[in-house]
């Protein structure tokens, strides 16, 4: 133990796993990161001194953590935990006491710190941060008495922070002002969360002119910051805003543009009819746009009309209940010529204006042909697959819980490049038996694949992952023949009809000679597994989840290639068989939880 070089965690006097702090004293070769917990168990500075932390010159990061219960009130314990002078990263959590250690708050002895995290302290005097000339990251968390941070505070001078790249203030309700010195321009990331960073209006509390190197900014509940302020962050490439609609949607000059912002994330904002469209025109260089959990005035639809762009490649829209995309020219997402990935989840009205008839007859399409990944989840407003007819480059398609979706207008050409397809509906409380889109989709492919698909390209031949809610739709000879070459993962989720496998279905399953992972999930009536699983030579993972009627494993068992079996919440009879299988196959990893 004396020559131990790595010890990531050390629990002081904790029952069963704890040790005396003095036992660290002889471990002079310790390096890397050391986390010491339960320091509230240490009563005196003399006891702390015995850890001899100052002598551990190979240590790079030190975490000193006190528990919230029975927290020590003596300041001298932390005084005795002085780290080596060449330490690179220091974290201090909940130490108690009213005075900080002299080696940090007085005559600093850790001048080479690059990262400092201080949390839960009530020190009358904070460390002179400005004297830590190598500091790159600073986090202050739960220091309620701090009101101002800037020149002449905490040792900060106009020459401070020449290397600082990240500063984070968390849970500091009294903080009203941050004014950096001249060198704060080196910041690359600024995060202010759940605090009153500007509590009485913008009066220079954030000196935006000094933040022109900030690249990544997250703002939460800071309504008094304006877009005009943020425009001064000329290097900004990512902006995340939560709950600041007055900042985003207030009237500002037309010239307020963000030419360098590539990623924009907006959440928890109340939108009005055209406010979002106006905002997005200020971000001409966007490559990624995320909109989440944004609400609207009662009864009012909000229109999203994204400006034409050859840069925007990723759009994610979650839980925006009244958001609609217009049908008029420029509506939809069709004019985003570089769009690669779209995710729409739980909005409810997104496709309302694109009725089945319009979608089938219009020459313009909802999505651009460039799209490669499309995920539509919990979206009842999409009614027709005709909206997807031009997406012949799709590699990933997910349609989950799109309750009103039909295959009306479906074109098998969109399946030729697919590598991943997920299509299923989960039952609702009042709708136990639901329509399976996969049933109709695969039936059309099976009957039309020789007539519609041109030579050199067939539906589903590139599929590597497939998850649907109909076993009978997939386990037919023609479909499995198409899937045989590349299908690695096959999942059946919420098949509420299937009870047992026919001979034809067993034979079709054997055609899947590349299958590695097979999953049955929430197939509530399924009473047995396929008997031919022992013939799938490539199968190494089998999941059986939420299938309460399955009472036994296949009588011929599994091949040795099976490495993982997951079967939680199974019947007692099945549990007994699984335990026997586990005893006879020690290399098989079985998960019952």
Helix (H) or strand (E) holding 576: helix 572-584
Position 196 confidence tier, pLDDT thresholds 50, 70, 90: very low
Q: How far apart are CA 582 and CA 414, in angstroms?
A: 44
pLDDT of residue 153: 54
Question: 134-143, 216-225, 287-296 — which is least confidently predicted?
Answer: 216-225
Q: What are 568's two structure tokens?
A: 């939680």
Task: List C-alpha distances in Å: 6 to 30, 32, 340, 538.
Answer: 6, 7, 45, 40
**254-283 confidence digits (pLDDT tens):** 788 999 999 999 988 877 777 888 888 899
Query: What are the residue boundaries of the structural domains of the chain, listed by start?
Result: 414-593
Helix (H) or strand (E) holding 59: strand 59-65
Question: 12-16, 95-99, 203-207, 531-535 — which is least confidently predicted?
Answer: 203-207
Instruction: Give one DSSP letter per residue of 65-124, joined into a string.
Output: E--STT----THHHHTT---TT--EEEEE---SSS--HHHHSS-S-TT-SEEEEES---S
Q: Please state the three-class secondary structure of 363-418 as a single string.
A: CCCCCCCCCCEEEEECCCCCCEHHHHCCCCCCCEEEEECCCCCECCCCCHHHHCCC
Vertex 119, ends 115 and 120: CA angle to 5°?
165
Q: Which CATH class is domain 414-593?
A: alpha beta
pLDDT of residue 448: 67
Vertex 565, ends 563 and 570: CA angle to 5°?
165
Helices first, then strands: H and E counts in the chain: 12, 29
Please name every residue paired with 476 in a beta bridge, in sequence order, or none if there are none.
none
pLDDT of 419 > 90? The answer is yes
What secondary structure letter does DSSP report for 130?
G
pLDDT of 362 > 90? The answer is no
Q: How many CB atoms lie within 10 A of CB 469?
A: 29
Q: What are 462's two structure tokens?
A: 């590139």
- Of residues 331 and 275, which shows the higher confidence score? 275
What secondary structure letter does DSSP report for 525?
T
pLDDT of residue 200: 27
**35-90 confidence digits (pLDDT tens):** 999 998 888 899 999 999 999 999 999 999 998 765 555 668 999 999 999 999 99
**473-514 confidence digits (pLDDT tens):** 999 999 999 999 999 999 999 999 999 999 999 999 999 999
Position 361 confidence tier, pLDDT thresholds 50, 70, 90: low
Burial of 436 (0-12, 13-18, 19+ CB in 10 A): buried
Burial of 184 (0-12, 13-18, 19+ CB in 10 A): buried
Helix (H) or strand (E) holding 137: strand 137-141
Question: 157-171, 192-206, 522-536 — which is least confidently predicted?
Answer: 192-206
CA nearest to 501, candidates 531, 468, 469, 466: 531
Residue 345 sits at φ, ψ, to 5 deg, of -140, 125
Position 429 confidence tier, pLDDT thresholds 50, 70, 90: low
pLDDT of residue 428: 76
Q: What is the mean pLDDT of the chain?
A: 83
pLDDT of residue 26: 82
Residues 6+ apart with CB under 8 A from 26: 1, 2, 52
Q: How far apart are CA 139 and CA 130, in angstroms?
A: 14
**200-259 confidence digits (pLDDT tens):** 223 334 556 656 677 888 887 776 678 888 888 888 899 988 887 777 877 777 788 999
pLDDT of residue 199: 28
pLDDT of 360 > 70? The answer is no
pLDDT of 133 > 80? The answer is yes
Position 150 confidence tier, pLDDT thresholds 50, 70, 90: low
Question: 156-170, 266-280, 330-344, 518-532 — which is least confidently predicted?
Answer: 156-170
Residues 6+ apart with CB under 8 A from 328: none
Q: How far apart are CA 265 and CA 288, in angstroms?
A: 8
CA nearest to 517, candidates 495, 535, 539, 537: 539
Q: What are 451's two structure tokens?
A: 């007539």
pLDDT of 123 > 90? The answer is no
Q: How far apart are CA 478 and CA 473, in angstroms?
A: 11
Averaged over 20-48, what is the pLDDT? 88
pLDDT of residue 329: 61
Buried b / exposed e over 152-168, threshold 16 CB at 10 Å, is ebbbbeeebbeebbbbb
Instruction: Give one DSSP letter per residue of 248-304, joined into a string.
Output: HHS---TT---TT--EEEEES-EE-TTHHHHHHTT-TT-SEEEEES-EESTT--EE-
Buried b / exposed e over 98-114, threshold 16 CB at 10 Å, is ebbbebbbeebebeebb
Highest mean pLDDT among 99-103, 126-130, 195-199, 392-396: 392-396
Averaged over 563-568, what is the pLDDT? 94
Residues 6+ apart with CB under 8 A from 420: 395, 396, 397, 398, 463, 464, 465, 466
Instruction: Give one DSSP letter per residue of 454-517, joined into a string.
Output: PTT--TTTT-SEEEES-HHHHSSHHHHHHHTTT--EEEEES--S--S--HHHHHHHTT-TT--E
pLDDT of residue 454: 47
Length of the chain, please? 593
CB-CB contact of 47 with 71 (8 Å): no
pLDDT of 333 > 80? The answer is yes
Q: How far apart are CA 460 and CA 512, in angstroms?
A: 13
Position 193 confidence tier, pLDDT thresholds 50, 70, 90: very low
pTM (predicted TM-score):
0.74
Task: List C-alpha distances in Å: 142 to 60, 172, 208, 541.
Answer: 25, 5, 25, 46
């Amino acid at each position: 133990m004396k020559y131990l070089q790595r010890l990531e965690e050390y629990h002081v006097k904790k029952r069963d796993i704890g040790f005396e702090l003095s036992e660290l004293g002889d471990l002079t070769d310790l390096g890397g990161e050391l986390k010491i917990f339960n320091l509230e168990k240490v009563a005196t500075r003399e006891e702390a001194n015995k850890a001899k932390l100052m002598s551990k010159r190979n240590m790079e990061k030190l975490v000193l953590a006190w528990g919230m219960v029975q927290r020590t009130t003596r300041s001298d314990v932390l005084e005795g935990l002085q780290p080596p002078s060449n330490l690179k990263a220091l974290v201090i959590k909940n130490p108690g006491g009213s005075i900080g250690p002299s080696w940090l708050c007085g005559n600093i002895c850790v001048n080479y710190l690059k990262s400092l995290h201080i949390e839960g302290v009530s020190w009358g005097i904070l460390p002179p941060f400005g004297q830590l000339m190598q500091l790159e990251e600073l986090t202050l968390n739960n220091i309620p008495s701090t009101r101002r941070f800037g020149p002449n505070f905490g040792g900060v001078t106009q020459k401070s922070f020449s290397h600082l790249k990240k500063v984070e203030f968390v849970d500091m309700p009294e903080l009203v002002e941050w004014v950096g010195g001249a060198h704060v321009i080196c910041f690359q990331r600024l995060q202010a969360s759940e605090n009153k960073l500007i509590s009485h209006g913008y009066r220079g509390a954030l000196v935006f002119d000094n933040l022109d190197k900030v690249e990544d900014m997250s703002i939460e509940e800071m309504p008094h910051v304006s877009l005009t302020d943020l425009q001064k962050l000329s290097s900004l490439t990512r902006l995340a805003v939560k709950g600041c609609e007055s900042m985003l949607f207030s009237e500002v000059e037309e010239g307020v543009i963000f030419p360098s912002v590539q990623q924009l994330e907006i959440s928890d904002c109340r939108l009005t009819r055209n406010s979002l469209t106006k905002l997005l025109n200020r971000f001409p260089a966007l490559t990624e746009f995320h909109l989440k959990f944004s609400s609207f005035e009662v009864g009012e639809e909000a229109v999203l009309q994204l400006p034409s762009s050859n840069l925007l490649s990723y759009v994610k829209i979650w839980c925006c209940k009244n958001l609609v995309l217009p049908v008029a020219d420029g509506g939809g997402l069709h004019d985003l010529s570089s769009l690669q990935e779209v995710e729409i989840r739980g909005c409810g009205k997104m496709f309302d204006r694109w009725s089945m008839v319009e979608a089938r007859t219009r020459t313009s399409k909802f999505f651009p042909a460039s799209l490669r990944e499309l995920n539509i989840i919990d979206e009842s407003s999409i009614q027709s697959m005709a909206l997807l007819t031009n997406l012949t480059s799709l590699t990933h398609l997910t349609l989950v819980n799109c309750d009103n979706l039909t295959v009306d207008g479906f074109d098998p050409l969109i399946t030729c490049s697919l590598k991943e397809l997920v299509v299923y509906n989960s039952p609702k409380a009042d709708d136990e038996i639901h329509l399976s889109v996969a049933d109709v989709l695969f039936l059309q492919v099976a009957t039309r694949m020789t007539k519609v698909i041109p030579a050199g390209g067939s539906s589903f031949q590139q599929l590597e992952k497939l998850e649907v809610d109909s076993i009978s739709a997939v386990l037919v000879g023609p479909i499995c023949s198409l899937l045989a070459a590349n299908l690695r993962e096959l999942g059946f989720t919420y098949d509420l009809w299937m009870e047992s496998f026919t001979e034809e279905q067993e034979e079709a399953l054997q055609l899947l000679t590349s299958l590695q992972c097979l999953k049955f999930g929430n197939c509530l009536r399924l009473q047995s597994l396929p008997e031919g699983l022992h013939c799938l030579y490539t199968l190494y993972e089998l999941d059986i989840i939420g299938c309460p009627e399955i009472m036994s494993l296949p009588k011929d068992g599994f091949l040795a290639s099976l490495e993982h079996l997951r079967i939680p919440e199974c019947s007692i009879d099945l549990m007994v068989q699984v335990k026997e299988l586990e005893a006879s196959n020690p290399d098989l990893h079985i998960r019952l939880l």
